[in-house]
Chains A and B, each alone.
Chain A
Amino acid sequence: MISPFPPAFLFILGVFLIPLLKGKLKQAYLLIVPAIAFLDIIKLSPGMSWSYSFSGYNLVFCNVDRLSLIIGYIFLIIGFLAIIYSIHVKEDGQHIAAFLYIGSSLGVVFSGDFFSLFAFWEIMAVASLFLILYQRKKESLSAGLRYILMHIAGGCSLLAGIILYTINKGSIAVGVIEPNAAYWFLLLGIGLNTAFIPLHTWLPDAYPEGTVTGSVFLSVFTTKTGVYVLARCFPGVEFVAYMGGIMALYGVIFALLQNDARRLLSYHIVSQVGYMVAGVGVGTALAVNGAVAHVFNHILYKALLFMCIGSVIYMTGKRKLTEMGGLARFMPVTTITCIIAALSISGAPGFNGFISKGMILQSIVEAHRPVLEIMLTLASIGTFLSFIKLGYFAFFSRNYDMKSKEAPVNMQLAMMLTAFACVLIGFFPGILFKVLPYQDIPYHPFTPSHIVGVIQLFMLAGASFILAKAMVVPHNAVILDFDYFYRMAGRGLIWVCVVPLNALRKKFQLFSSVTVSIISRLAKNPVSTIEIPIAYVYQRITKGNRYTGGYSSSDTFNENLYRRPVGAGIFFAIILFLAFVLVYFVF
């Protein structure tokens, strides 16, 4: 009997074989690794741990409980499906990035201590960056740069929080955090990955710029590991609960205005993650169950949506809703699976979103949070509306110029399997309930009032939408988000460097150059001591400017001018050295 192995390492070590294999063998290998990891994770049972002592701290690479197991299951299921979707990609680098991304996300999920969590967290950021950069377009490169800058900032905050936590508590075990200095740093670091408003801007900025297959992976892991760590460290925090409500509404309002199909989906990630964050913030057993169930369901339907829109982009090269349309005739599988995903994310009865959204809403009602209930119900109306918009303008609106074929077989297969999973859980939620973290929490999704309520909500929202359809026709425009302030601050920083700091540098350089020239002149000919003040005074009087020793401060580039700082540097070093020698010998 082989004993279980931390699943993260299967992927991370598995990376090394990818470049060595070719053709069908490589494709088989890519699918076998997640399959083995799944068998491995099934053998893990709550309470197991795989730890390693490192300089006085206990690093726990595989801390198993019901919460980490369910997230591990869904990460592997979707990892497998997304690899089927991307199996045709020839570039090894993309597969390697995807493997590292899945592996490090599993690493975060199974980490029992903050140090290894942080290490996997950073691998996750870098691995995901490559799924954006492999698009090899100018927009992707700059979006990737902004993405990694924000994640580095978040990582620094997380590390600061971890260090403060370790100093205060003397332990590095992951657990519920008490309010102190570490609390806010950790919340900021985790909140950035969980797309808290206004730290969410990296998400709708970078995800639409990823590769067609890479975006499917991106949509799954980063935000969901964030929710998972939030559930471990900050359950039942009031601030987190209301942040969830704000995210749900904010994401959906921005989604309604988008024209880029994948940017619309990205704003829906912010919105849907808001539901999970609200669940975690409420913190009761039903709420955490609901949040985790929503993570599970959301991963399925959101990956499916990215797969559907990805195959539209892959086949037509069009990414804007204004350019799409009429695809239902050419891409029936994509259209049907996209409708299933849209109904799932909206929470229609018979689809998986209905189950977990209902759990979260009921837990909020039981915890007496009326404002939060209204916020989340309103957000679900917006979700439904923006998926009517997406479905209509992508697949059904009139566009006679559009011609396309159905996506490759592997993409179709992945979409069909994912859609099947969405419907399966929608009809048989018991499968999901069995693996939820808290057992024996009564919840019945299919009550008459719940079903009728959701149907009424959507039917009437749809009706008033038809009345006011003209208001939501997509436009060729960009909607400014909080990243406006970050970009302007970035430009401001560049301005400060280029204008005032550069002017200061020039002044200082001129001063040093003049000093050096005077001294070198004196060294050559000490008799000229008198000449210099005379030249200085003469120049001041006749020309009204300062004596520059032959150097001008004009902006024209003079390569000799820029060689001087080396001389000035050496000169100051010698002066300092002399001063040091003097001090050393005298005292």
Chain B
Amino acid sequence: MEKIFKIVFMALAVLSIPIGFFVEHEHAVFPWHRIPSFEAIFGFFGTFVFIFATVLLSSFAQKKEDFYD
């Protein structure tokens, strides 16, 4: 069940990329607004920014639960 859900989700994610080529940003102000499907790229790599940030943070700030006791 979980596996099917994952495969369907991944498939939908890949399928959502080409839709970006058919819509245009209404208020393109910054250069990245003109890149088609920019949000898809941003979403994919943004997640790794978070994973990197959390790993970095937990490397020095993660302590045992009774740290303050």
Contact = CB atoms under 8 A, between A and B. Distances in A.
**Chain B interface SS verdict (over half):** helix
Contacts, number: 136
A295 B60 CA distance: 34
Contacts of B61: 479-481
A460 B46 CA distance: 9
Interface string A442-460: 0000011100111111111
B29 A463 contact: no
A464 B12 CA distance: 13
Nearest to B10: A463
A448 B23 CA distance: 6
Interface in A460-503: 460-466, 468, 471-472, 475-481, 487
A370 interface: yes
B68 A362 contact: no
A373 interface: yes
Interface stretch (A156-164, A188-196, A376-384): A376-384
Given A366-B27, A456-B19, A462-B13, A468 B65 contact: no
Contacts of A370: 30
A271 to B, nearest CB: 12
Contacts of A576: none
A19 B66 CA distance: 39
A471 B51 contact: yes
Contacts of A466: 6, 9-10
Using C-beta atoms within 8 Å of the partner chain, give the interface range for chain A: 35 or more
B48 A253 contact: no
A324 B30 CA distance: 44
A466 B46 CA distance: 14
A209 to B, nearest CB: 13
A471 B56 CA distance: 12
B13 to A, nearest CB: 4
A1 to B, nearest CB: 48
A221 to B, nearest CB: 27
Given A257-B58, A366-B27, A366-B29, A452 B47 contact: no
A468 B43 contact: no
A449 B26 contact: yes
Contact of B9 (A382, A452, A462): A462
Most buried by A among B43, B63, B64: B43
Given A459-B9, A464-B48, A472-B54, 17 more contacts: A252-B50, A365-B33, A381-B50, A382-B50, A385-B50, A456-B17, A456-B20, A460-B13, A460-B17, A460-B47, A461-B43, A461-B44, A463-B10, A477-B65, A478-B63, A478-B67, A480-B61
27 contacts: A257-B58, A362-B27, A365-B33, A370-B30, A373-B30, A377-B42, A381-B42, A447-B26, A448-B23, A449-B23, A455-B19, A456-B16, A456-B39, A456-B40, A459-B12, A460-B17, A460-B44, A461-B44, A462-B9, A463-B14, A463-B44, A464-B43, A468-B51, A472-B51, A477-B64, A478-B64, A478-B65
